[in-house]
Copies of this chain bind each other. A is one copy, B any other.
Amino acid sequence: MTQTASTNRRVVLAERPKGAPDDKTLRLEESAMPKAGKGEMLLRTVYLSLDPYMRGRMNDTKSYATPVEIGGVMTGQVVAEVVTSDVDGFAVGDMVLHGSGWQDYAVSDGKEVINLGANPDNPSWYLGILGMPGYTAHAGLLNIGEPKKGETVVVAAASGPVGATVGQIAKIKGCRVVGVAGGAEKCAHVVDTLGFDACIDHRADDFAAQLKAACPDGIDVYFENVGGKVLYAVLPLLNAFARMPVCGVVSWYNLPGLPDGPDMGPAIMGTILRMKVKVQGFIIFDSFGPEHHKAFIADMKSWLADGQVTYKEQVVDGLEAAPAALNDLLVGKSFGKMVVKVG
């Protein structure tokens, strides 16, 4: 079942998962082609972005965004092609960035759609290094992490689209950068290709000891996107006045409830107190405004052009492969920014 011009395939939330999503969580179904009316345009999905936050949208809990309804199309950002258009500023053949979700087609009136033009270079990059993950890395590191030359920055999920970008920016700013990733292949990529000073495999039995050895001067900035054992290994290494931007806790997203003890609350809060740490959560489009976005785009285009920042994608083929790919991403089996080539 591939993309056609006559039906709209879509992935809907079949039931709310308890713990890790399984094959009953999402359902691929066909529906009628949506019809663009007056003042509207029809968009055909080319690339769908897969991101850790999607796990949160499957839950029915108070969060920063409305949960997906049962039977509703999974949310997600896409790069799409304009098929028909009655919207000023959008021509047939233009590529656009839009929150169409996990489906082949969507109708839009042009609101909250960004036009990338007819033939953008690397359009899928607008879902990654030039999009939400890259912006998250740039704004979170520079505005909350505030890395200073010579400081030590630790980045979890270091081969992922956010972590890889955080670390490369921290290198540009003159920091010692230590990544954490899962497995030798990812760690080699982080050091050899991305240029981190070190990368520790969190699967190693002596992970905490290795992390400590890699941070002889302690940790000044910990860019938090995983939580769990990485966070707990970082806590005793934090220096006075350390900063911790928090953009995710992906290792905890599949938890069906609070894990067994001991309760690490006293260790977290005690460290924050004793070491005068600033911990700040952020959701990129809520927490930062247009001036930050402008700075991000200017910096990143320049760094990509002169090779200071390298970008790695993992392209998954076909909408039907998206549910399993998201599950891989949530357990650290992805390698690079994951996008689905839908059509």
- Chain B residue at minimum C-beta to C-beta distance from A262: B258
A307 proximity list for chain B (CB < 8 A): none
A62 at the interface (CB under 8 A from B): yes
Q: How far is the CB of A343 from chain B (nearest CB, A)?
A: 33
Bound Cα distance from A259 to B279, whole angstroms: 23
Q: Is the CB of A262 within 8 A of B260?
A: yes
Bound Cα distance from A287 to B274, whole angstroms: 11
- Chain B residue at minimum C-beta to C-beta distance from A264: B265
A270 proximity list for chain B (CB < 8 A): 227, 249, 252
Residues 52 to 67 of chain A near chain B (Cβ within 8 Å) = 56, 62-64
Per-position binary interface string of chain A over residues 269-298, scored 1 when its CB falls under 8 Å from any chain B CB and 0 otherwise = 111111111111111001100000000000
A231 at the interface (CB under 8 A from B): yes
Oligomeric state, in copies: 2
Interface residue from B228, B267, B286 paired with A258 (Cβ < 8 Å): B267
A261 at the interface (CB under 8 A from B): yes
Q: How far is the CB of A288 from chain B (nearest CB, A)?
A: 11
Q: Is the CB of B266 within 8 A of A265?
A: no
Bound Cα distance from A272 to B274, whole angstroms: 19
Q: How far is the CB of A56 from chain B (nearest CB, A)?
A: 8
Residues 235 to 270 of chain A near chain B (Cβ within 8 Å) = 236, 240, 246-249, 252, 255, 257-270
- Chain B residue at minimum C-beta to C-beta distance from A274: B63
A224 at the interface (CB under 8 A from B): yes
User: 17 extra interchain contacts, Cβ-Cβ under 8 A, other than A258-B267, A259-B263, A276-B287?
Assistant: A62-B236, A63-B274, A64-B274, A227-B265, A227-B270, A240-B286, A249-B269, A252-B270, A258-B261, A258-B262, A258-B263, A261-B263, A262-B263, A265-B268, A276-B281, A276-B282, A280-B280
